[in-house]
């Protein structure tokens, strides 16, 4: 059994979903691990991870609009605003999604569906660099 770990810095262009599937696939390829399990972990409380459709960008826009309704930026709704009016809504969006993904690896490739991509879901108004940890264990 072997394992490999790597940190990616993913920088979103704006609030919303930013795909980084190719960077993760390159890491998996470089490890030469043929069969295993990949963990993708976001080390932040105001951004999250999604596996989502990557064929039609309207999916990402619809997801962002839906979350804007679920956790709107409204200073009258929240007590916590340490880093600004988007701070608490960002934490709520992360709580509703996930910061860790588990993806099987088979024949040296991630087992994703045809239209699936890995996304950073940035919840803050200003883009930030996010530390994403990749850990692959297998043979």
**Stretch 71-83: mean pLDDT, rounded?**
92
Does the pLDDT of residue 13 top 90, yes or no? no
- Residue 11 reports pLDDT greater than 90: yes
Determine the Cα–Cα distance for residues 10 and 87; give it in Å rounded to an integer: 19
Q: What is the average pLDDT across 22-34?
A: 98
Closest residue by Cα to residue 123 from 95, 102, 100, 104: 95
Task: For domain 2-138, say whether CATH 1.10.8.60 is its number.
Answer: no
Task: Supply the pTM of this predicted model.
Answer: 0.95
Backbone angle region of 117, left / alpha / beta, with phi > 0 → left and psi within -120 to 50 → alpha: beta
Instruction: Name the residue ranges covered by the structural domains of the chain.
Output: 2-138
Q: Tell me the pLDDT band of 14, cut-offs 50, 70 and 90.
A: confident
Each residue of 87-107: pLDDT tens digit?
A: 999 999 999 999 999 999 999
């Amino acid at each position: 059994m072997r394992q490999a770990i790597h940190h990616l810095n993913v920088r979103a262009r704006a609030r919303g979903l930013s795909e980084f599937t190719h960077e993760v696939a390159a890491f998996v390829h470089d490890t030469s691990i043929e069969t295993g399990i990949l963990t993708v972990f976001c080390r932040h409380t105001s951004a999250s991870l999604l596996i989502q459709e990557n064929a039609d960008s309207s999916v990402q826009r619809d997801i962002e609009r839906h979350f804007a309704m679920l956790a709107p930026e409204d200073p009258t709704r929240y007590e916590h605003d340490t880093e600004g009016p988007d701070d608490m809504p960002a934490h709520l969006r992360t709580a509703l999604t996930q910061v860790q993904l588990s993806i099987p690896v088979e024949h040296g490739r991630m087992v994703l569906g045809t239209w699936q991509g890995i996304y950073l879901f940035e919840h803050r108004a200003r883009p930030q660099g996010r530390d994403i940890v990749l850990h692959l264990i297998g043979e």
